[in-house]
Structure 1
Amino acid sequence: MNRRQFLTGATSLGIIGVWATRSAAAPSRVAWREDRALFPQGVASGDPDEHSVVLWTRRPFDHGESHTLTVEVARDADFRRVVAKARAPVLAAADWTCRALVGGLTPATVYWYRFTDDSGAGSRVGRTITAPGASDPRPVRFAFVSCNSVNEGAQNAYRRMIWEDERASNDRKLGFVLHLGDFIYEVVEYPDEVSQRYSRTVYNLGRIPDDRKVGNFHVPTNLAGYRHIYRAHIDDPDIQDARAWFPFVCIGDNHEFSWQGWQSFIKYGGKIEPAQPLRVAANQAWWEYIPSRVRKASGPGLDQFS
């Protein structure tokens, strides 16, 4: 794939395309200073192939509808060998999330990346890895995870994964993390109502905007509710650090939408209800917060994100 084909493909995914330079890498000229408070959900990468990977961050602003970030990709954590740099939009319409598809990379290679706003405030530095080439005989190691119940449990398994990976030899390091679904749990308990479940502490994820109560649980009823839940899950330090260290390949399950839901229906208390607008909201929030190559359909129709 050449540069023109790559950039056209990135546009079709609704992502800014960034092409790595074929010339010698150069030191960064961006006046970056880390300010994690302005990038509260950190950084992430996802869906790597042998020459490209999706990069992600969230930088909320308190004014305007659109701003621009600078994204850089380097071969070293100090950004003395920058191979790609571009300007990427961050939009209020996408809950201030930002995605970039970086291409022209070398297979089976570790890269480092970061985002910087126009004031010089920057995200934390993230790490990602491209997939090996199709003819590479070396085995690929990966971990699989699922069911991030931040409301009811600790996520320290991610901390252990990072700890082991940092100490592993190069041939034992993970190439990616496969997430098999339930990245969020849309059924949320409030600790002032339920302090424990299954002998587990119920942690405070905040109040879901416009929530609906179902038994002891509160569930989202719109896009704002799903966005709140994604932010609350990614605020977990172990999840956030893992997303900054490993590229993720994510598959959806039921809780990204509704516990007993399917297609565009929900089921609470034995009652089946049509919920196509809720399905669209759930899929949009997933698209905003999970770095992936899933295409965001255009237009206002309820069949988008299908």
Structure 2
Amino acid sequence: MLHRKGRNTVMDKKQERDGEKMGRREFLRTTGKFAGLTLGLTLLGSMKNFPVDAAPKFKAYPFTLGIASGDPSSDGVVLWTRLAPDPLNGGGMPPHNVPVQWEVAKDEGFRHVVRRGTEFAKAALAHSVHIEVNGLQPNTAYYYRFKAGAEISPIGRTKTLPAINDSVARLTFAFASCQQYEHGYFTAYRRMAEENLDVVFHLGDYIYEYGANEYKADSGNVRTHIGAEIITLDDYRNRYAQYKADADLREAHAAFPWIVTWDDHEVENNYAAGIPEKGQPIEPFIQRRAAAYQAYYEHMPLRLSSLPHGTDMRLYRRFTYGNLAEFHVLDTRQYRDDQANGDGSKPPSSESLDPNRTLLGDKQERWLRDGLTRSQARWNVLAQQVFFCQRDYTTGPAQKFSMDAWDGYAPARDRIVQAMAERSDTNFVVLTGDVHANWAAEIKQDFNNPASKTLGVELVGTSITSIGDGSDVRDDTERILAENPHILFFNNHRGYVRCTVTPEAWQTDYRILPYVSRKGAPILTRASFVTQNGKPGLTLIGEQPVASSSTPALTPLLTGSKAPISSI
């Protein structure tokens, strides 16, 4: 995550605080509602105003961006594709709604088709298709495909969730984030597609908004964004098309259902609600954000309930995996108060410690705390974006925290931690992206007291490519681990995290690539940890240090008893 470059806004902050002008949150709420109503009605109305091309003929193969499934339920799933015969130039489709046939089968040969139908690829939504299939069996794998005109899509595989009250013996999933196209090849997704997973969680930064070579990887850029920094709806559409044209990413989408949420780069680095990073006026930024949100919906396997209404798009939602696990998918970007202290890494202040500030927004925070209170699942999981545990960058009694993470909203985090503390009969796990490195930490009731009660664990996944080829350690690794005893592990390679969950234990495998600046890297498990049911905390059960030409192999960072991986 890059730090914010400029901090000017249309309204003077002192006047905001003094109440001499309309408050920022009130202003954004008012303008956002107006823009949302106007743009939402325009979008919904425009879907009906395009002519229909009942027998389309394409100048090239239209399924260039692949297929995907997502937002699974116990009786259904969302199927996605987008018709784009000329993907990097607006898609290359005429302004017509185009019928797309689809079918779902129990077998890859489609001898046992269980559902089929026709849906329109709508011109108003970049000829994307979002099909909400219902009537499927719980916890069952299916195959799906599309047909438009005479063209047939690749075949995808998906899987429904178990029924809510079913007893589930095992769940295996992966989570990933941060895939800067220029910084490396998406080999991690090729390796992910080779896994045996039930579902994939993507925790944000699916695209990056920068222009060509504006953001340089430590190991050098190996690919190039097309065009300047993206601003308009057409810009965002073309950028998603460039990313989705990657064969490895398409392979991972076709292999498993995905559950997605965003962070900042889907719009602009480090934006906060309706506050831009670079000091541009708020009203143009709100229009930019509306364009970015629409493009995100157009390219993700999301339900109609997530269709954006101008500046608003509902992404926080809940997925229940039988009685085994409940996933609370969060949006830590759309509703937050502006970062405290001008953003960056700063000491705590009266602003960052203000209990009235929020990262989730009042409504989402109530939704989350209510869900944590009511959940009957063995494991309760927050799938979210930014570092949750306290992470002090400074040696000694002074403290310095990232204002973009939960540390910049400490009282809001305390409220979530308190909700965890009130439930002694469940297990808490936080999944995190954003920071381009692997970390493993224990959630403390009081992060300033290492002896305080451990309430759960945070698993932070590295990037798919962002910042390029990695290393086992960084210059600041030893200092940060010493200053934060609840953080037990660090690694700076690229990859993803694989989790295997049973009623008895949760195993976490940090899957890493030795490089991303070249294609075809192998995958290995850098470290594995286990968390036992009813015993919050992390135990190292295996590790494989990685040496590179510039970095020696890492000695074990986490101490404690070791158990064989087969113990779960």
Fold match by TM threshold 0.5: yes
2:81 aligns with one of 45, 57, 63: 57
Q: Deviation at 1:64?
A: 4.0
Partner of 1:199: 219
1:38 partner amino acid: P
Q: Deviation at 1:303?
A: 4.2
Measured against aligned partners, the alpha-carbon deviations of 1:181-207 in whole angstroms (never above 9, x if no partner) come to: 1111112324xx88x631232412322
Residues 182 and 253, structure 1, Cα contact 8 Å, conserved in 2? yes
Partner of 1:125: 155
Residues 74 and 111, structure 1, Cα contact 8 Å, conserved in 2? yes
Partner of 1:283: 293
Distance in 1, Cα, partners of 2:205 & 2:152: 30
Partner of 1:168: none
2:307 partner amino acid: K
2:329 counterpart of 1:305: no
Residues 70 and 117, structure 1, Cα contact 8 Å, conserved in 2? yes
When Rg is computed on C-alpha atoms for both structures, the one with the higher figure is: 2
Secondary structure, aligned partner of 1:263:
coil
Q: Structure 1 residues 233, 297: closer, same or farther in 2, change over 3 A?
A: closer
Identity of aligned residues (%): 33
Secondary structure, aligned partner of 1:197:
coil
Q: Deviation at 1:284?
A: 0.4
Distance in 2, Cα, partners of 1:201 & 1:303: 33
Residues 162 and 245, structure 1, Cα contact 8 Å, conserved in 2? yes
Partner of 2:367: none
1:232 partner amino acid: Q
Partner of 1:169: none
2:198 counterpart of 1:175: yes
Distance in 1, Cα, partners of 2:122 & 2:129: 7
Alignment of 1:180-191 (within 5 A): 180-190=203-213
Distance in 1, Cα, partners of 2:220 & 2:268: 22
Partner of 2:174: 143
Alignment of 1:34-49 (within 5 A): 37-49=61-73
Distance in 2, Cα, partners of 1:162 & 1:297: 30
Partner of 1:85: 116
Q: Deviation at 1:54?
A: 0.3
Distance in 2, Cα, partners of 1:237 & 1:303: 32
Residues 100 and 147, structure 2, Cα contact 8 Å, conserved in 1? yes
Residues 69 and 78, structure 2, Cα contact 8 Å, conserved in 1? yes
Measured against aligned partners, the alpha-carbon deviations of 1:11-31 in whole angstroms (never above 9, x if no partner) come to: xxx8xxxxxxxxxxxxxxxxx
Secondary structure, aligned partner of 1:141:
strand
Q: Deviation at 1:272?
A: 5.3
2:205 partner amino acid: D
2:306 partner amino acid: R
Partner of 1:257: 267
Partner of 1:244: 254
TM-score by length of 1: 0.75
**Consecutive unaligned residues in structure 1, runs of 5 or more:** 1-13, 15-34, 166-172, 208-217
Distance in 1, Cα, partners of 2:148 & 2:168: 41
Residues 45 and 56, structure 1, Cα contact 8 Å, conserved in 2? yes
Distance in 2, Cα, partners of 1:251 & 1:36: 32
Distance in 1, Cα, partners of 2:124 & 2:222: 32
Distance in 2, Cα, partners of 1:284 & 1:62: 18
Measured against aligned partners, the alpha-carbon deviations of 1:256-291 in whole angstroms (never above 9, x if no partner) come to: 1110211122112xx353111011111100110011
Partner of 2:38: none
Partner of 1:115: 146
Aligned length: 246
Residues 211 and 226, structure 2, Cα contact 8 Å, conserved in 1? no
Distance in 1, Cα, partners of 2:219 & 2:60: 34
Distance in 2, Cα, partners of 1:70 & 1:223: 27
Residues 36 and 124, structure 1, Cα contact 8 Å, conserved in 2? no
Distance in 2, Cα, partners of 1:282 & 1:303: 9
Residues 74 and 82, structure 1, Cα contact 8 Å, conserved in 2? yes
Secondary structure, aligned partner of 1:200:
coil
Q: Deviation at 1:297?
A: 5.0
TM-score by length of 2: 0.41
Distance in 2, Cα, partners of 1:278 & 1:202: 28
Partner of 1:32: none
Distance in 2, Cα, partners of 1:62 & 1:246: 28
Measured against aligned partners, the alpha-carbon deviations of 1:78-119 in whole angstroms (never above 9, x if no partner) come to: 10000000001001211111110101111111110000013x
CA-atom RMSD in angstroms: 2.1
2:225 partner amino acid: L
Q: Deviation at 1:295?
A: 2.7
Higher relative contact order (CA 8 A, sep 6+): 1
Secondary structure, aligned partner of 2:200:
strand
